[in-house]
Chains A and B, each alone.
Chain A
Amino acid sequence: AQSVTQPDIHITVSEGASLELRCNYSYGATPYLFWYVQSPGQGLQLLLKYFSGDTLVQGIKGFEAEFKRSQSSFNLRKPSVHWSDAAEYFCAGTMKTSYDKVIFGPGTSLSVIP
């Protein structure tokens, strides 16, 4: 079955420290992959996406993600975290067919210590 997993339910980092949020996928072929952020009381915002090609993807707000086929992973990274990055982060995936759906991972809650 298709699935997206995020092993870390909650992560706490200090402001200015680096960040890596893990995401693993299980699909029959390489899916399209996404990272979304949801700030408290806010809607979902797309950070970045991977379709094909360069496995290192740059996104908004200084985030990047690396697709690793051998590890079925699509981890999100940021070199220096800001307090405003505290939010819920969702990894998601889909197969690019006309009638397929996006499957969301369970989410990782990020707390930032001043």
Chain B
Amino acid sequence: SAVISQKPSRDICQRGTSLTIQCQVDSQVTMMFWYRQQPGQSLTLIATANQGSEATYESGFVIDKFPISRPNLTFSTLTVSNMSPEDSSIYLCSVLDSGGLHYEQYFGPGTRLTVT
């Protein structure tokens, strides 16, 4: 299993500023994902971040708004840039542990962001 921690757990930010969210995993993983969960909504994948390559963004998400770093196999950051109240969400880091018939996805506790 993988244990994921995120920092900060929550934050209140002013519009126009940026926030960087950190995701730390207790084991080496190839695939990491960043999700957004808007209030009362389901999870939406922002991007897939693999170590050693550029992040792959889903439709509706762009690198300028959500730059991602993946410097090694246990760590990633997501930055929410030039924030607006619409960015108020829970941001979740997730990792995939798969091989053969094994497939497990683990989620971090989330970062609750409020933009005022």
Interface set of A (CB-CB < 8 Å, partner B): 32, 34, 43-44, 46, 49, 51-52, 90, 94, 96, 98-99, 101-107
Contact = CB atoms under 8 A, between A and B. Distances in A.
Contacts of A101: 33, 45, 48, 58
B48 A107 contact: no
B31 to A, nearest CB: 7
A60 to B, nearest CB: 14
Contacts of B110: 43
Interface of B: 31, 33, 41-45, 48, 50, 56, 58, 92, 94, 98, 101, 103-105, 107-110
Nearest to A53: B101
Given A43-B108, A43-B110, A51 B103 contact: yes
Interface SS of A by simple majority: loop
B48 A43 contact: no
Contacts of B48: 99, 101
Given A101-B33, A101-B48, A106-B42, A96 B107 contact: no
A34 B105 CA distance: 10
B90 to A, nearest CB: 9
Nearest to A102: B105
B44, B98, B105: most-surrounded residue (chain A CB, <10 A): B105
B33 A104 contact: no
Contacts of B105: 34, 46, 102
Contacts of A98: 31, 98
Contact of B43 (A32, A96, A99, A104): A104
B107 A99 contact: no
Given A51-B101, A101-B33, A101-B48, A44 B42 contact: no
26 contacts: A43-B92, A43-B107, A43-B108, A43-B109, A44-B43, A44-B107, A49-B103, A51-B103, A94-B103, A96-B98, A98-B31, A99-B31, A99-B50, A101-B33, A101-B45, A101-B48, A101-B58, A102-B45, A102-B94, A104-B42, A104-B43, A104-B44, A105-B42, A106-B41, A106-B42, A107-B42
